[in-house]
Structures are given as C-alpha cells and as structure tokens.
A and B are shown apart, each in its own frame.
Chain A
C-alpha cells in the first residue's frame, strides 16, 4: 500500500516539527551509545595495543615485586620501579648459554615530561613490536657517542627536535624538575619512526650516558659539561645497576628453566616474567572492572531509551487531534500504531549512528592524551562489528519499548475516532 510508504516520511516530518524535544532525545541516547561503544573500544584497543607493544621478548627481568608492576614500568612506562638489578647479576644472566640477546633498561630520569630510558644498541636490534616489526629510524641512527640520544617520534615532534640538537635530562619524572643534569647535555643522534607504542614517547640514551650524568651530578656541583663529559668517556663508565632487562632466548624450550634460575637467583631477589602470561593476569585483574563498566554503560543506554519512551508518551496527549485527522483520511489505527513505532525507530537509529560518529571522533581527539597517560595507542579505525551490533540492538530495543506508546495511540485513536474527547 501507499500508506506504508508515507509512514516514515510522516514520522520524519513530525519529528522535525518537534525538533527540540526530538533533538534532546537523540542527544541523550547518542551520548549513552557513545559511552557504551567507547568503553568497549578502549577495552579492546588497550588489549591489542598492550599486546602489540612488546613482541619477541621471552622474559622480562627486574627486582622482585609484582609481575604486573614489573611489566607496566619496564615496557609501558607506567609507574616506577621499586628496586634495581645489580650490574653483576645482569652480566650473569646475559652470560647464560640459553640467552640469545638482552636489552638493558635503566629508568628514572625525564626530559620535559618524557621519560628517559638508558639502554644499548641491542635495543634497536632486538626490540620487536606489533608481532614482527622492528624499530626503524626516521632520521639519524643508533648511539655513536656516550651522549647520543635517540628520540621517539612523539618526543621529536612535540618538542620540535632534529638530529644534532642538544637536550638536557632531568632527574626524576615530571615536567618540572629542579635538578637538571646540565653537566652533560645529550645530542640527538637519531629519531625513530612512529610505532604507536610507548617507544614514541621515550628519550633513549646510552647506559654510560646515564651513569655519567649521575656520577658527575653526585661528585661535582656545577662543573662545566665538557670537562665532565670527557672525564666520563675516559672512565668508561659502567653502571652499578639497571632497572630491568628484556631477554630473548635461543629456544623457547629453555624458558621455564631460565625463569626458575632467575627467580631463585642467590645474589639478589630477582623476578622473571613471561610478558604474555603477565598480560593475561592483567586482563583477568581488569576483567571485573571492565564488566562493571560495560554493565553501567548498558544501563545508561537503557536510561536514554526510557527517556525517549517518556517523550513519546507525553507527546501522545497533544497529538490525538493529529491521529483523528489521519483516521478521517482512511488511515487505519494500525498506521497510527506504525507511526509511533517508526518515530521511535528513527529517533533511535539516528541517535545510535550519531553516537558511533561521536565516539570515533572523540577517540581521534583523545589519542595523544591516552598515549601520554596510559601508554597505549587508540586506533580510531572504521566502525567495527560491535558498533553495528550496538546500533541494531539500540534500534531494536527502541522499537520494542515503543510498543507501549504505539499501543496506547492505537487504543486512543480507536476510542477517539474522529472526535477527541478531552
């Protein structure tokens, strides 16, 4: 029939005519949908991003503390180490026959809000992320001098550094530090290509460089930098300790053997973790919180839809006249029923779709902030399967809820006929 064709056009025009209430309804449902999708998106993005941040590492070794804590500070630059690994212990692990390569990690300093990590060339050779990708240089190259620094893409971009620029490292972590290690300025020797991991926000320097500034800083108050730098180079500084190290094995079969050796190491209390296993523990720990967040966002969506239901029910009283006019032209009570249903479905569909758009734009905007504060990279990709499911579910739920006002309108229009008894 033609009548069904006119249904959605009437519904749309009627909604447009009430654009203030309809708009507010759309807004509240859209915000709730954005919240729901946002929560899910951040959850899955956090997982992929964390999983992608470190690949190819068999063990991570640090001072004995919690495994999750070790994983967070060593790889994701979240939180701080409680204790260090002695240089001798590191050398012993490194020398084990099962060990193919190691990457030392020395943390604790910062440069204008970005964390500084002391390491060696093994880092650029062995570090893997996003399955099999290696670190690549956008400009410059690996460490040549003690005071060379290699910057992550975000560091270089947001501070406007190029190869050859000098930078000063502060002790401690934070934007403002009163104790600048200005005795030994570092020189930017390389800038890494973007990785989408915390590497982008890290200033990499040599272990010897870190040691040099700390020894200089400890011994002489305010000596001229060149003197101390030369001195440091001459002394061929070895660090006393490092924060953690990443270990690659000759064979996966040796994993548990080496892990036991490290965990039972007699020299000092150490701990070795398998990154994948610890990430799994982290997800389990966060699982309950995630579920709670998801439930809350579903409830918010439900509240939004109930708000829509209220609006539709309230509008019925003032629309009885309209229903009578439609009936007089031969519209069945079923069309009146369908009109209310169509309005609800249109409202919900528009709201859900705008929610999806909003959440993706918001994620695009929040990306740098999230990377800076939580160490993971939000991919604001195209809407995925979950978004479609949410749009369909919200629209469907709206249709179901709208059965109430639709039924009421149906009954009213049957009772009213052509004359509204008020």
Chain B
C-alpha cells in the first residue's frame, strides 16, 4: 500500500477534459505533504470540483499522473479506485451531505460499511461503530439525545455539516477533502466550522484539502493556493475573456 514517507497528494502534469472538449484542468505540479492543511481558492468554474474528483479517483486524468498517499490512483482500475477512496478519503460536500433515510448515527457509520480498515480503526476507539459515531458527534457538539433522535432533514445546515465532518472523520482516513462546506453558512459560523474541522482533522492526523471561493478563510490554513494560478486551462465560460 502507501508508503509513509510519500506525500499525501502529488499531481504531475495532469490534464482533464470532459468528453473530448477543451481541458478544464491543466496542472503542471501540485504536492501536498502529509498532515498539511491546504486551502485551494478559486471561483466557480475554475476546475476545483474536477480537481477533487481527480484526487478522489472518481475521474481519471486524460494525461499525467495522480498519486495519493503513494498510490498511483490514475493507474488503478475503477473498482480499485472506489476501494482506495473508501479506505483513505473522507469527504465533506457543499450541502446535502446526508442520506435523508438514515439516522444521524447511521449516516456517520456509513463509510465503515465500505471500508474494513476504517471500521477496524473506529472499533479501536469505541466498543461499537455506533458508539464511535456518537463519540464523534459529541465532540462536534451534537451529542444531545434530542438531536440524535431527530431526522437528519430536521437539522440546521450548520448541524448537518458537522454530522458530515463526523462521517468524514470516522475511522480516521489519512485524507479529508472538503468542497465548499461553508458556503451555506454565515460568516461567524464559517470561521467556527473551519476551526472545528481543522482541530478534528489534526486529532485524527488527517491531511486536509479545503476548497472554497471565499479567500477570507485562507488564514486558518497552513498553505493556500489559487486555482487561477495553478490551473493553466481557461476558465469555464471565460475562454475568450482570457
């Protein structure tokens, strides 16, 4: 598997285009060290989401290599990429992270059904997966019984995003990827959420890649890059504007 001294992410001359169109991602070089907290800033259409899909192995680059935790993800087959993602990456989306038909605890436990390794790590911390989920929810301020009994659709956006963080962190995946997780929150809530996320990732020892269009959040991170600078591909809908 992954060798511990390899960087968390290494992108080398990657190119990606949807269905033979113009490239939307063209990055010469990007490296993220283990344990690093990287902020990727860029407006919508700058290829951020495509970049995350490439890192997660949902998409494969049309050229170049994607190495994650020492594994050459871009060279793996589809099933192996799915397995790799399950074992190693925790995701937090912009919104609607949770499955509406599962309970709070079931939502948090879900990644452990796709990854034996994460389930085993979770069971080192707690007696059962549900216990571990509740422990994480508690740390994130969602420990009260009143909240746990509620349907996930009845939670506020901020609460839903914190549940999503608990889900991303269960079983301590080496890499946590967050895609605009604060876009539906107000400014104060944003800062608090980012702080909480980074603390928890630090506790879990996970590398963080946080993507947002909001440069004001960059201060909380160790390093910040701009999509406009690293991505040589023209921005979507702005091909002529240059």
What is the interface of chain A, defined by CB distance below 8 A to chain B? 2-3, 5-6, 10, 13-14, 16-18, 321-322, 324-334, 417-419
Listed stretches B5-13, B89-97, B130-138, B215-223; interface member: B89-97
Q: Are A418 and B113 in contact (CB under 8 A)?
A: no
Q: Are A328 and B78 in contact (CB under 8 A)?
A: no
Complex Cα–Cα for A18 and B53 (A): 30
Q: Are B49 and A322 in contact (CB under 8 A)?
A: no
Contact A2:B99 (CB < 8 A) given known A330-B87, A418-B49, A418-B179:
no
| B62 in the interface (beta carbon within 8 A) | no
Complex Cα–Cα for A326 and B99 (A): 9
Contact A330:B52 (CB < 8 A) given known A17-B101, A417-B58, A418-B93:
no
CB distance from B132 to the nearest CB of A (A): 16
Q: A417 contacts which chain B residues (CB < 8 A)? A: 53, 58-59
Q: B106 contacts which chain A residues (CB < 8 A)? A: 13
Complex Cα–Cα for A91 and B173 (A): 100
Q: B91 contacts which chain A residues (CB < 8 A)? A: 328-329, 418
Q: Are B56 and A328 in contact (CB under 8 A)?
A: yes
Contact A325:B99 (CB < 8 A) given known A2-B113, A418-B179, A419-B53:
yes
Q: Are B110 and A329 in contact (CB under 8 A)?
A: yes
Q: B102 contacts which chain A residues (CB < 8 A)? A: 13
Q: Would you list 28 pairs from A and B whose C-beta atoms are within 8 A, ordered by A residue?
A: A2-B119, A3-B113, A5-B113, A6-B114, A13-B102, A13-B106, A14-B101, A17-B101, A322-B100, A325-B97, A325-B98, A326-B99, A327-B58, A328-B93, A329-B114, A330-B84, A330-B85, A330-B87, A330-B111, A330-B114, A331-B82, A332-B78, A332-B82, A334-B79, A417-B59, A418-B49, A418-B91, A419-B49
Binary interface profile of B, 50-65, with partner A (CB < 8 Å = 1, else 0)?
0011001011000000
| B116 in the interface (beta carbon within 8 A) | yes
CB distance from A411 to the nearest CB of B (A): 13
Contact A321:B86 (CB < 8 A) given known A17-B101, A328-B91:
no
Write the chain B residue with the least CB distance to A419. Answer: B49
| B159 in the interface (beta carbon within 8 A) | no
| B115 in the interface (beta carbon within 8 A) | yes
Q: B150 contacts which chain A residues (CB < 8 A)? A: none
CB distance from A340 to the nearest CB of B (A): 14
Q: A326 contacts which chain B residues (CB < 8 A)? A: 99
Contact A332:B101 (CB < 8 A) given known A2-B113, A418-B56, A418-B58:
no
| B83 in the interface (beta carbon within 8 A) | yes
5 additional contacts (CB under 8 A) given A329-B167, A417-B53: A325-B99, A329-B85, A330-B84, A330-B114, A418-B91
Q: A17 contacts which chain B residues (CB < 8 A)? A: 100-101
